Structure 1
Amino acid sequence: MAQLEYADGIWSGIDEAGVARLEIDRPEVLNALDGAASARIIDLCGAWARERGVRVVVISGRGGAFCAGADVAGMATDAAAKGGFDESDSRAIIENGSRLVGAVRALPMPVIAAIDGPAVGIGASLAVAADLLYASARSYFLLTFVRIGLMPDGAATATFAASLGRARANSMALLGEKLCATEAFEVGLINGVIEEPEGLDAVVARAAAKLCASSPEALALTKAALDAATLTQYEAAIDREIAGQTRLLQTPEFQAAIAAFSAGSR
């Protein structure tokens, strides 16, 4: 097993087989990501992308949650201090989420998401950015953006549509419908569902070992070819999400929603 180091809410390390592990550990907010945690993930992915010894990357969350999305409580505090977000603030927020998912997508080696518990908002986008997804039966995916006056981001408008098809992606994005792990497997969003959370690590370990036994160049070229065929709208989706979310983060609807969240969390 890798000797993991902790910084900014993230455990990380590389084992002797070349499996790099990234574990989100912010239990007080169900592993929601603040700016520091996001920056740590971006930095790690950037370094691992250049590290020839890394054969596979595994992303997970500790404590029964994968990632509950952006740290809305922190956003609410910032918004209150500034009297709301202006265009510059809004663009910085959405571009950070795009960089986060982009850093995962830019990894040339296969990425496995080990999902236990909720994958919500940008957390769902982060999970679906992986190449192989395995989830415990208690897990679920939820795009909650419209409930607070926003739109999906982190390339979710491309990745979810590519995996689920237009109808089911619309149900999640427009109606905010939850997709449980069993349904996610049945409709092709994830590669496997494991009944007990304790069994998830073993399934992921077997997949990682199989990948480590394959040619790194063959895997990288295959991954790039599959991405080129299935995510043709990725860059355009990022551009649309940045433009749309920058606008929505400044609207009275979002300001009211985040103020209500802040009041409710006191």
Structure 2
Amino acid sequence: MTQAEFVDGIWSGIDDTGVARLEIDRPAQMNALDGPASHRIIEVCGHWAGDERVQVVVLSGRGGAFCAGADVAGMATDAAAKGGFDAGDSRAIIENGSRLVGAVRALPMPVVAAVDGPAVGIGASLAVAADLIYATSSSYFLLAFVKLGLMPDGGASATFAASLGRARANAMALLGEKLFASEACEHGLINGVVDEATALEAVVARATSKLTRTSASALALTKAALNGATLDRYDDAIAAEIAGQTELLQSPQFQAALAAFAGAGK
């Protein structure tokens, strides 16, 4: 990456070929996202959306994890300090996650996700928001929300169903079933699987090289048409997720989960 900058756990930079990279680097949290990291991704994507230098965006995580979801341990600390989350706190949390994934989806240029390791919760939503997704064979996708008394967010109720179909998406969302990369590729969630991180870089490099040699206008219009055809109810899904998750973040089940995280950190 040239012109690389590290802010709030996020590396960002644009190289001379027009490839922009966003890399999550919070190893102690397995790249789980807290508020500042999420806000940084939103900020960078907002800038890149209007930057004519950017031909393609690559999302990844450093250190053998793509993103372990929201930083629930950090949320537990905040909740303990406040004596729990009220409706305003809860809505702010879920709206932040929706803005995070929305900022990635709003990029007019193609977005490529390079997934090495777990993509969990909002991390899975973030990965599947990309237009092309490649993963190492040890990687997996997990909508773990139900295990915390929550529901999928970040548009996952729309994007996973659009890619996998209703039955398999239901198994992931309702049963919390883990989907390894090979199965994810077989069922259409991702585009390809490789064995190692070095091979993943090579696959992503080939894809980005093709994209940077293609008309930016053609790519943007094609992306918009495909999203319109496959995710026409995305905004409805986001509205349902915000309403439902605002309620669930205040539920006794989630409060118990937060207390368990807080206790584990002592």
Report TM bin, short chain.
over 0.9
RMSD: 0.6
The answer (yes or no) to whether the contact 1:137–1:197 under 8 Å persists in 2 is no
Q: Which amino acid aligns with 1:253?
A: Q
**1:168-187 map, 5 Å:** 168-187=168-187
Distance in 1 between residues matched to 2:159 and 2:88, nearest whole Å: 27
The answer (yes or no) to whether the contact 1:20–1:56 under 8 Å persists in 2 is yes
**1:18-167 map, 5 Å:** 18-167=18-167
The answer (yes or no) to whether the contact 1:12–1:22 under 8 Å persists in 2 is yes
Distance in 2 between residues matched to 1:208 and 1:73, nearest whole Å: 35
Matched, 1:245 2:249: no
Secondary structure class of the residue paired with 2:135: strand
Identical aligned pairs, as a percentage?
74
User: TM-score, with normalisation over the residues of structure 1?
Assistant: 0.99
User: TM-score, with normalisation over the residues of structure 2?
Assistant: 0.99
Distance in 2 between residues matched to 1:257 and 1:133, nearest whole Å: 31
Unmatched runs of 5 consecutive residues or more in structure 1: none
Distance in 2 between residues matched to 1:198 and 1:142, nearest whole Å: 23
What's the CA shift string for 1:129-185, capped at 9, x where partnerless?
000000001100000000010000000000000000000000000000000000000
Distance in 2 between residues matched to 1:262 and 1:150, nearest whole Å: 18
Secondary structure class of the residue paired with 1:214: coil
Distance in 2 between residues matched to 1:87 and 1:112, nearest whole Å: 35
Distance in 1 between residues matched to 2:2 and 2:225, nearest whole Å: 30
**1:213-228 map, 5 Å:** 213-228=213-228
Distance in 1 between residues matched to 2:84 and 2:148, nearest whole Å: 14
Tell me which stretches of 4 or more aligned residues in structure 1 moved more than 6 Å.
none
Distance in 2 between residues matched to 1:3 and 1:54, nearest whole Å: 13
Secondary structure class of the residue paired with 2:157: helix
Q: Offset of 1:10 from its aligned partner?
A: 0.4
Residue in 2 that maps onto 1:232 = 232
Distance in 2 between residues matched to 1:138 and 1:36, nearest whole Å: 29
Distance in 2 between residues matched to 1:32 and 1:253, nearest whole Å: 21
Distance in 1 between residues matched to 2:247 and 2:192, nearest whole Å: 37
Q: Offset of 1:3 from its aligned partner?
A: 3.6
Residue in 2 that maps onto 1:12 = 12
Give the number of aligned pairs: 266
Secondary structure class of the residue paired with 1:241: helix
Q: Offset of 1:261 from its aligned partner?
A: 1.6
